[in-house]
Structure 1
Amino acid sequence: MTVRDDPRIAMLSVHTSPLDQPGTGDAGGMNVYVTELSQALARRGAQVEIFTRATSSAQPTKVEVAERVLVRHVAAGPFEGLDKNDLPGQLCAFTAGVLRAEARRAVGWYDVVHTHYWLSGQVGWLAADRWDVPLVHTMHTLARVKNAALAPGDAPEPLGRIIGEEQVVEEADALVANTDAEASDLVADYHADPARVHVVAPGVDLEVFSPGTLGRPALRAALGLPADDRIVLFAGRVQPLKAPDLLVRAMGVLAERGEAVPTLVVLGGASGRPTAVRELEALAYQVGVADRLVVRPPVGREVLAQYFRAADVVAVPSHNESFGLVAAEAQATGTPVVAAAVGGLRTIVEDGVSGVLVPDHDPRTWARALADLLGDDVRRAALAAGARRASARFGWDAAAEQMLKVYELAAQVRSAR
């Protein structure tokens, strides 16, 4: 079994659509990953169909997002009112929709099934078996790893997810890890066959996320940000896992010590709890920094790049990240990153070169790290230059080239099995 030079790929993303705006609900880095990888594969001659669950009756059944890239909305359960934890009960309906779409094609239409997150892996397992094509799976996050580093107050991932992940690991012809650390987790925690685990680093759109030409004063004026403040930017979902509350608490520590408190700009919407943003604002009031917190909704990529360039520092305090796309994109714009030393962030952020890795989630540690960097213009400029150099490692075209090789290896494994 081989994969043709211009493969037809069934890309499955059950719980979140690549068309959704990252930064709210369940939409995040995975949305960007699926969209950008699909387009990069299409530039290499592939034809990609992305299957995702329909969440509105107004959504068209098909949307062409780029040449040779099609998004298919599959009806599975009620359009609204379901969150990610409700979706296992709708996998049968989603699978039926995927199989029906393929049934309208010529026999042997798809060459490979590439699934994202364990829910999609369950569907892809059946589809790949039915079509006799290789199954390639990207986990994005792992339940056992998340449960080992839970944020305070966050609920652990259920046993059903862990069992589901184990099944996908067993059945996949190839597993794609974002970093060497994730590959090690797959082998150590899920007993994955090392020969089937392949590391393919996600990319960054280096045309959109670049240093740009506008200076910081002009950018801040255009975005309505304080001209003279030190600005720390957080971009992502407002939820315990991403830990924006840690940054607010760190600002509270600085205020209590009588030190300069930067302006914290949060670009993101509530995820998990609809009151998450109000809770973050209430926390800022409690620790005495309400006037230093600016919360705005998530924005598109071009505007996000402007926010990165306008900030002095981008902070990524997550309790776990399989890759850390925000950190990679921020560095590509030439802005230093202060990140938690967890998961893929340890790969993306070169400590002392492109940013700073913080060893724990203690607000006092973060207060010191932020204050030291914001107070040292020379060091920040050196890290900015290092951030731009570090970003050169990541590009979606390179990721697509590697992924095509993974597809071929997966086909060989499928033949052998």
Structure 2
Amino acid sequence: MTVHGSSRADVVISGIGMVTPAGADTPTTWGTVLAGRPTAAADARLSGLGVAFSCALAGFDAEAVLGADARRMDPFARYAVAAAREAVADAALTAGTFDPGRTAVVLGTAVGGQSTWEEQGDRLRDRGPRTVNPLTVPKAIGNIAAGSVAMDLGLHGPSLTLSTACAAGTTALGFALDLLRSGRCDVVLAGGTEAAVTPLVSTAFDRLKALSRRGEDPGAASRPFDEHRDGFVLGEGAAVLVLERADSARERGRRPYARLLGHGASSDAHHLTAPDPHGHQAERALREALRDADLGPADVCLVNAHATSTPQGDAVESRLIERVFGGATPVTSTKGVTGHMLGAAGAVEAALTALSVHHGLIPPTANFRARGTDIAAIHIVHGQPRTAAVPVAVSNSFGFGGHNAVVVLGSA
């Protein structure tokens, strides 16, 4: 295969794998998101806590998918391996059609193997050191999901984990794009994974007053841009996208979902958890992504917003979207369905955006009823999915610590 080192290499998304609260595979997830059907519900893992509901993974049987190997993996690694397998099959990457030595894995995560740390910490406290699993560290360390994907699929290129909080999945896609443009790799499996619906993480976010407390009606709790939003709902899962140069996809006869046209990143350098109230650096990342794609705001037909359903975050993002695009460009947030999947969120949302580009369908913003008085006059798609050509779309992600990341996708 010819290696292209041009910074303008045409990079495409040729395969998608998803394991989310909306479904244990990509078609089911896409159908649930298009229907605008919220997934938040009471969660027995959180019983007795201040917030006892989540957007839990739907219909995923780890041992049925992964076999006995699942027992040696933290859930965040299981989700990544399952999503990677689906993505590779979807892309028709079969033996002899790609070089494992030039195939990379780049995943994002915010907290890594949190459930393993909590479980083993409880064992140490309650039953003593001899009961702690000897595999605790290799199960729980943040890099192990990427390592597990590489081992499962026999990939020998770079295997990397990036952690930029809730922007991690999008950051991974940007890094993967650079690997392909540089010619260092021919294929990259890029995405994000998270399994942070745990008692400690839920309680910590609740103590931070970041979570919705709409326990009487969990299904309506995640409501991006809505006047009654009161915080986000924890979600879990993974998405992995197969990225490659367009010529290699054509050689296999694989029609891509979309092109990955550009990416941008910036840092607020403002506050530990709160966004810059003016959104200037998030806007910088967005404009940088458009410049990287050689496009302008007028070219964009869809914004998949980060919009987590928090009062401050949604307001700041709505204003920056209005400044860049005005009030006519359609905007959606799929977190009304999936909740906030932290380090996996950007990858899941980029995958859903690619499907919007491919199918010409914009998912509705679930649970949106009336615009908050602090939300700018942007065009929020809600109620029903919208049929519309989407030749260019952007997907925003922002994280604690001031991490901002944006990707631009286009029709293939």
Higher relative contact order (CA 8 A, sep 6+): 2
Structure possessing the higher radius of gyration over alpha carbons: 1
TM-score (norm 1): 0.30
TM-score (norm 2): 0.30
Q: Larger helix proportion, structure 1 or 2?
A: 1
